[in-house]
Structure 1
Amino acid sequence: MADTSIIGRGWTFPVGTGGAGGIGLSEGTSEIEESIRIILGTAQGERVMRPTFGCRIHELVFDPTIGETLGLAERYVEDALAMWEPRIDVETVHATSEGEDQMAGRLMVSVTYTVREIKDPRTLVYPFYLIERE
């Protein structure tokens, strides 16, 4: 097993308490996964002191789930992770919306990435919810 202590450690999200009553911490690859979820879950402009932080995928919230929307979702996710998560190399981003996902107005965004320091390939699937325009 690779040494994940070199990746870093940070507060858990949402913020919680640890075993001894202190701040809850995550480390290693789980810290990176939390970071990716925070980046993708934050709309650009949401953070006052860092307005460019986050992902533009939130601009698609009212768009229909067609090929163009899926392509934009992939592009926005790839751009956000390249900008805000330097510990990974993004290999592929694939957005789909079929069957039950499409009925629920949900995009499933699959991100395949490699953790740079330990050369560990991983995949994270992030659900993003759309509201169809009438």
Structure 2
Amino acid sequence: MTHFAFPYAIAPDGSTRSADEDRHIVHLIEQILFTRRGERRNRPDFGAGIHEMVFSENAPEIAAAARNMVQASLQQWLSPRIEVRAVAAEARENLLAITVQYRRTDEENLRSVTLEHAL
């Protein structure tokens, strides 16, 4: 099955750009991680809430809280599609790198994706 690409784009042939199931799941994870809570009018609780932690101190306790927030949010919104196995967060200069290890519910293969966001 193919899905719309994220962000939405037009392919060279004039059709809507598409994404396969694996890429679509990565796009969904990206949307959850980088959508601010309250940003979506009809889903004010959508998002992982990591933007609220931008000005928090860089301490192990804060990193653990961020990992828990991300994992809970991914489980809430994507549990029919993926099983989250691990989440790691790392702040490097002005970038936040979040690595999510997951398994698609229709497969046994473990997958990993690292997404970066400028702070």
Assess same fold via TM > 0.5. yes
Q: Deviations over 1:17-70 (max 9, x none)?
A: 124312211121011011111111101110011111111111101112111210
Contact 2:3 2:21 in 1 (8 A): no
| Alignment-derived partner of residue 98 in structure 2 | 109
**Match among 47, 52, 57 for residue 50 of structure 2:** 57
**Match among 40, 43, 50 for residue 33 of structure 2:** 40
**Match among 96, 106, 115 for residue 90 of structure 2:** 96
| Alignment-derived partner of residue 80 in structure 1 | 73
Shift of 1:107: 2.9
* Structure 2: tracts of 5 or more residues without a match: none
| Alignment-derived partner of residue 17 in structure 2 | 24
SS at match of 2:89: strand
Amino acid in structure 2 at the alignment position of 1:88:
I
Q: Normalised by the size of structure 2, how large is the TM-score?
A: 0.89
Shift of 1:114: 0.4
Q: Between Structure 1 and Structure 2, how many residues are aligned? A: 118
Q: Deviations over 1:63-120 (max 9, x none)?
A: 12111210111011101100111310000111233xxx1xx13332211100110222
Is the radius of gyration larger for structure 1 or structure 2?
1
Q: Normalised by the size of structure 1, how large is the TM-score?
A: 0.80
What fraction of aligned residue pairs are identical, expressed as a percent?
31
* Structure 1: tracts of 5 or more residues without a match: none
Contact 1:61 1:129 in 2 (8 A): no
Contact 1:96 1:107 in 2 (8 A): yes
Distance 2:117 2:13 in 1: 35
